[in-house]
Amino acid sequence: MKYPVPTNRRGFLSAAISGLVAAIGAGLGFVALPYLFVPSRQPGQEGWTDAGELSNLEPGTPSEIAFARLRIDGWDASALKASAWLVKQPGGGITAFSPACTHLGCAYRWSRAQNEFQCPCHGSRFAIDGRVLGGPAPRPLDRYQVKLAGNRVWLGPIEPSEALRS
Amino acid sequence: MIPELLRWLEERTGIPGAVRAFFSEEIPASAGWAQAIGSVVLFLFFIQVFTGALLAFNYAPTPGEAYRSLNYILREVPGGRMVRGLHHWGSSLMIGAVVLHMIQVFLYGAYRKPREATWMVGVALLLITLGFGLTGYLLPWDNRAYWGTVVTTEIAGQAPLAGGYIRKLLGATGGVGAVTFAHFYALHTILLPIFAFLLVALHVYLVKRHGVSPAPFENRPKRKFFPEQVFRDTCAIFAVFAVLFFLAALAGAPLEGLADPTNTTYIPRPEWYFLFLFELLKFFRGTAERIGSVLLPTLAVALLFSIPFLDRSRLRPVTQSTFALAAVALSLIVGVSLTVAAVATTPHSTGPDPAEAFSTAPSALVSGARIFAANGCAACHSINGVGGSLAPSLNGVSQRHSRAWIAQHLEDPKSQTPGTIMPQFDLSAQDRDLLLSYLLSLPAK
């Protein structure tokens, strides 16, 4: 399609009007598009939290602990209640699972009878090391980074587990 | 293809025809640049609606949080400084454009029959514009906002008979706080915009219904709105937008310290377009103060509303309307001298502006502040009044502790302060140095 070339006064004014309107639109878009669609800078690290004593953990029995965790959300920094499933491993190490099922985020629980984690929502099941035993869960349980300081457990950010490759 | 689409749209909606009718409206041949000011006002109104909506995306409308979220907009959100700058300067330009528009309509005598209602709706819109300025002033919740609003609500409280009641309505009986803030926020973002949209629609409808006011003894044939007048309007709008854009980009918008009701050194000043009212107050003492704060402004508004009914003279060309020109000149002289007097008597502020300080601070200190934010130190410690109160404020920490002490304190808090609730922070050596430099740079307050 051929565009009409502005040869007369009317055509020139039309083109000038379009150009000015486009310039204003570009100026506003230049500001508004990044503002709306570029995610804001997030603090890199969420820091470590003292999650409690190590001594009251039995090997082979996961124990759910609750603790306060700092959350930085935009302009807001607040202490939120958080929890983790701690497992004392035979070697002495500690694993801390995120309390959210990797399927759709429900809170799962430990079944002493079946010796496995069970999710009440859609029946996902996980072994004590976080492996998927059954149900719709796509990957093993996510884990907190763990540090031991003397007799106390420190939990860092949650690291999503890799999907198990068969 | 396109003609078919237009025909389809025309049959279903009538929009293409309405657009064509809008642009081919007949206007007097005398219409020119002066008549473009009204379009500029409308454009600035839409700029304020747009940038205001953008700000609301990242703004927490409660005292204290408002200030923190505005800092977040300025520092963390891409383009946040620009959006706030556009909204801030847009309000000033809007006031200027509204006043110019009113002067132009007044001088051209365009309030005469049958345009009395257009003029009165315009005066109502002027009041709404000032209402936007007044309520928006509080929303950053910095010292400027807080103390400015304290004075405003005190003045409202001086109104005869209803004063105390108005102050209660504004939630300002025990000082300016959460209730006043919520009221002002609701006015600024919900009620005033609804009234403004309705009255702007009515105003534009009336302008279209009565047509642009012709010059006296006009005998040239009418012209169409498009293209000459549309071109003038667009040029004027573009020029104003360019000025607004550069003001926002280069001058920024002020953000002072967090509102501090106990700050006795703060000298409150209203926004520049209220300075003449502020200065007017100084001419009256004691109970006579109400003359300046309530009576004169009320009379002025009543006068504005009744202009179409007071002036029954025949329409004259602008250059021959001596009385109108004299009235405008006198008002401008009084307004400008009061404003200049108010500016001249304003003491210079002492402290640096935090938002400016942020942009001019050495980058190492800014990195330190980011590490401070990333580790959530502000959950317990405060700086310049922002942050938690579980732990000591960090202003002037350099006078209390050495660099080595703080380093050790971060690594193993209990070794320095037995029994402290301060958690350990295992920072990299580089991050720790940046954080220490930042903390030691904090001034005592």
Residue pLDDT, tens place only, A104-126: 999 999 998 999 999 999 999 99
Residue B4 lies inside a defined structural domain of this protein: no
| CA–CA separation, B369 and B363 (whole Å) | 10
Angle of CA points B218, B304, B145, to nearest 5°:
125
B34 and B111, same structural domain? yes
Residue B263 pLDDT? 76
Q: Is the ipTM of this complex over 0.90?
A: no
**Using a CB-CB distance cutoff of 8 angstroms, which residues of chain B are in contact with residue A32?**
50, 54, 79, 83
Query: Least CB-CB distance to B227: which of A17, A34, A50?
Result: A17
A44 contacts chain B (CB < 8 A): yes
B227 touches chain A (CB under 8 A): yes
Q: What is the pLDDT of residue B39?
A: 96
> How much is the pLDDT for B94?
97
Domain of residue B381, CATH code: 1.10.760.10
What radius of gyration do chain B's Cα atoms show?
27
Assign B266 to helix, strand or coil: coil
In a domain, B250, yes or no: yes
Q: In the structure, what pLDDT confidence band is assigned to residue B53 with cuts at 50, 70 and 90?
A: very high
Q: Where are the alpha helices (DSSP H) in chain A?
A: 9-37
Give the closest-approach CA distance of B27 to chain A in angstroms. 17
Determine which of A7-21, A32-46, B33-47, B167-181 has the lowest per-residue pLDDT on average.
A32-46
CB contact under 8 A, B57 and A77: no
**Which of the residues A31, A38, A41, A151 would you substitute to probe the B interface, choosing the one with the greatest number of B C-beta atoms within 10 Å?**
A31
Residues B423 and B318 in one domain: no
H helices present in B33-115, as ranges = 37-56, 65-75, 80-107
Q: pTM score > 0.80 for this model?
A: no
Whether residue B318 is found in the same domain as residue B361: no
Domain CATH for B61: 1.20.810.10
Nearest CA in chain A to B369: A43
For residue A166, the model assigns a pLDDT of 37
CA distance B235 to chain A (A): 7
B278 in a structural domain = yes
Among the listed ranges A44-48, A131-135, B138-142, B419-423, which one has the minimum average pLDDT value?
A44-48
Residue finishing a domain among B302, B325, B344: B344
Preferred mutation among A35, A50, A69 to probe B, highest tally of B CBs within 10 A: A35
Most confident of B183-187, B401-405, B420-424: B183-187
Pair B215, B192 in one domain? yes
Determine the pLDDT at residue A93: 80
- For residues B303 and B425, state if they share a domain: no
Rounded distance between C-alpha atoms, residue B55 and residue B87, angstroms: 9
Do B238 and B378 have their domain in common? no
Residue A47, C-beta contacts closer than 8 angstroms, at least 6 positions apart = A70, A156, B374, B375, B376, B423, B425
Identify the residue whose tokens are 């044939």: B221
Question: What pLDDT does residue B368 have?
Answer: 81
Least confident of A13-22, A38-47, A74-83: A38-47
Across residues B309-328, what is the average pLDDT? 88
Domain boundary among B281, B311, B344: B344
The answer to whether B163 and B156 have CB atoms below 8 angstroms apart is: yes
C-alpha–C-alpha distance, residues A126 and A139, integer Å: 10
- Check pLDDT > 70 for residue B357: no
Q: Strand, helix or coil at A2?
A: coil
Please give the pLDDT value at position B133. 96
Quote the mean pLDDT of chain B. Answer: 88
| E strands in B202-249 | 223-224
Between B49 and A94, the more confident residue is B49
Closest CB to B235 among A20, A28, A40: A20
Residue B422 pLDDT: 82
Do B236 and B297 have their domain in common?
Answer: yes
- For residue B133, what is the enclosing H or E element? helix B116-136
Q: Smallest CA–CA separation between B77 and chain A, in Å?
A: 5
Q: What is the pLDDT of residue B349?
A: 56
Task: Clarify whether residues B420 and B320 are in a common domain.
Answer: no
* Mean pLDDT value across residues B369-382: 79
Answer whether residue B8 is part of any domain. no
Model confidence band, residue B348 (pLDDT cutoffs 50, 70, 90): low
Inter-axis angle of helices B116-136 and B296-310, nearest 10? 160
Residues 6+ apart with CB under 8 A from B397: B406, B439, B440, B442
B433 within some domain: yes
Judge whether residue A35 has pLDDT over 90: yes
Pairwise CA distance, residues B405 & B409, whole Å: 6
Helix (H, G, I), strand (E, B) or coil at A56: coil
The verdict on B328 and B393 lying in the same domain is no
User: Do B133 and B212 reside in the same domain of the chain?
Assistant: yes
| Residue B5: inside a domain | no
Residue B11 lies in a domain: no
- Say if the Cβ atoms of A48 and B54 lie within 8 Å: no
* Domains of chain B: total: 2
- Count CA atoms within 13 Å of residue B252 on its CB side: 16
**Among A27-36, B223-232, B435-444, the least confident range:** B435-444
More confident residue, B175 or B148: B148
**Same structural domain for residues B306 and B419?**
no
Domain annotation covers residue B138: yes
pLDDT higher than 80, residue A157: yes
Tokens of A154: 């420190």
Would you place residue A3 in the very low, low, confident or very high pLDDT band (cuts 50, 70, 90)? low
In terms of residue numbers, what domain contains B375? 354-440
Q: State the pLDDT confidence band at B408, using cuts at 50, 70 and 90.
A: confident
Residues of A in contact with B235 (CB under 8 A): 20
Of B344, B372, B405, the one marking the end of a domain is B344
Is the same domain home to B406 and B338? no
Q: Looking at residues B28-43, what average pLDDT do you find?
A: 94
Cβ atoms of residues A73 and A88 within 8 Å: no
